[in-house]
Amino acid sequence: MAKKIIKNEAKEQNLIEGLLANTGQPIPKVADSTNAENRNSAPDSAWTHFTVICSIELVEKMKAIAQKEGFSIRDIVERSFKNSIASYESKHGKIKVKPKRQKNIADVF
């Protein structure tokens, strides 16, 4: 199963707006991404789409925080992930992520 890579913020915002429009949820305001700390940490090609299932209460709280503070839901969730990973690594050591193997199409066919 191929992962969908989000190439830029405009595409991501369109995906969010489409999802929220289909569910009847209000569309949150998006902060200027040039000032967002996590936008500077990785190039646009390093983002991937990731789906999480969690309690309605957590989702509503994340949405409320994002809307109140003027950030995207992605910014809030990503910061939460980073904080959780940092906490884990401080207790258990740095996590080593193995690079994904890139195959050449000529090697497959």
- Count of domains for the chain: 1
Alpha-carbon dihedral 45, 51, 55, 56, rounded to 10 degrees = 80
pTM above 0.85, yes or no: no
State the pLDDT at residue 69: 95
pLDDT, tens digit only, all 109 positions of the chain: 555 555 555 555 666 666 666 565 555 554 444 444 545 555 656 888 889 999 999 999 999 999 999 999 999 999 999 999 999 999 999 999 888 777 888 888 8
pLDDT, one tens digit per residue, over 13-43 is 666 666 666 565 555 554 444 444 545 555 6
Cβ-based neighbours of 29, under 8 Å, separated by 6 or more: 67, 70
**27 alpha-carbon distance from chain centroid:** 17
Look up the domain containing 27 and give its range.
9-95
Residue 49: inside a domain: yes
Residue 104: inside a domain: no
